Amino acid sequence: MNKPNSEENKKAILADLESVTVTPQYSYEKLASTDEYFVQPEGDLCEAYCAKLQLVAGKPEVVDSVESAFVRIKEIIGDDVLLCNNPELLKILDEKGIAYNTDPEYARVAKFSLTTCEALAARTGSVFVSSAQIEGRRLVSAAETHIVLAYSNQICPDLVQCMDVLEKKYGDTFPSQVTAITGPSRTSDIEKTLVLGAHGPKNLYVLIIK
């Protein structure tokens, strides 16, 4: 008995797969609101966001200007060096005399990183960042402390509205990755004890310019 030729078998299987026509059995309807699923934030969205972020161990702070935000950043990092690669932020860091490093490899030892964000979700206390803003995930996942600079007009009621912001901003050039960060990294896998900073930043500061 002749043994089957593995190369011929592979070609036959691939040919069968290519000949299959898949007909979707469902239709996608974009979710416009989460009102019927979740209790929505009430009152001032900035206050609602800060309250929710505190519940998930984040550290929200409202400041009155960009100047105040960078004074606070300096207070947070002290004499340490920020990991940052945003050109607009780098200009201000230069003006304020705040030390920074743009080398992605610095993420291996960086204690602090600084980024902007795409949007903030008040219901969950989440920060939306995208690959269009940052070079790789190191800036939001490697440093012990991640500092986010945001504006109060970036706060949306919920995740759906945050995604709308990105869709309107990027259209057909939608980023390859969008990440919703909800508080510091955490796990309770080990003996059901909550540990912060297990898979990412131990501290998350969100400085909101109002």
**Residue 135 counted as domain residue:** yes
Is 82's pLDDT higher than 60? yes
In a domain, 8, yes or no: no
Residue 18 lies in a domain: no
Determine contact, residues 148/207, Cβ cutoff 8 Å.
yes
Distance separating alpha carbons of residues 72 and 117, to the nearest angstrom? 18
Interval 176-202 mean pLDDT: 73
> Does residue 64 sit within a domain?
yes
Average pLDDT of 179-191? Answer: 76
| 167: its two tokens | 């869709």
Q: What is the CATH number of the domain that holds 176?
A: 3.40.50.10420
Residue 94 belongs to a domain: yes
The fraction of the chain above a pLDDT of 90, given in percent, is: 65
Residue 185 pLDDT exceeds 80: no
Residue 168: the pLDDT is: 95
Domain annotation covers residue 23: no
Instruction: Say how many domains are in the chain.
Output: 1
Average per-residue pLDDT for the chain: 89
Percent of the chain residues topping a pLDDT of 70? 87
**Residue 122 is assigned to a structural domain of this protein:** yes
User: What's the predicted TM-score (pTM) here?
Assistant: 0.82
Whether residue 55 contacts residue 125, with contact meaning beta carbons closer than 8 Å, is answered with yes
Reported confidence tier of residue 191, pLDDT bands at 50, 70, 90: low
Count the Cβ atoms, other than its own, within 10 Å of residue 191: 6
Closest to 205 measured CA to CA, from 108, 74, 88, 99 = 74
- 84-124: per-residue pLDDT in tens? 999 999 999 999 999 999 998 999 999 999 999 999 999 99
DSSP string, the chain: -PPPPHHHHHHHHHHHHHH---------------TTTSPPP-S-HHHHHHHHHHHTT-EEEEESSHHHHHHHHHHHHTTS-EE---HHHHHHHHHHT--EE--GGGGGT-SEEEE--SEEETTTTEEEEETTTSSSSHHHHTSSEEEEEEEGGGEESSHHHHHHHHHHHHGGG--S-EEEE-SS-EE-TTTT--EETSSS-SEEEEEEE-
Q: Is residue 70 part of a domain?
A: yes
Structural domain boundaries enclosing 111:
44-209
Positive or negative CA dihedral for 84, 90, 96, 99?
Answer: positive
Q: pLDDT tens digit string along 19-53?
A: 887 776 767 678 888 988 899 999 999 999 999 99
Does residue 146 or residue 191 have the better pLDDT?
A: 146
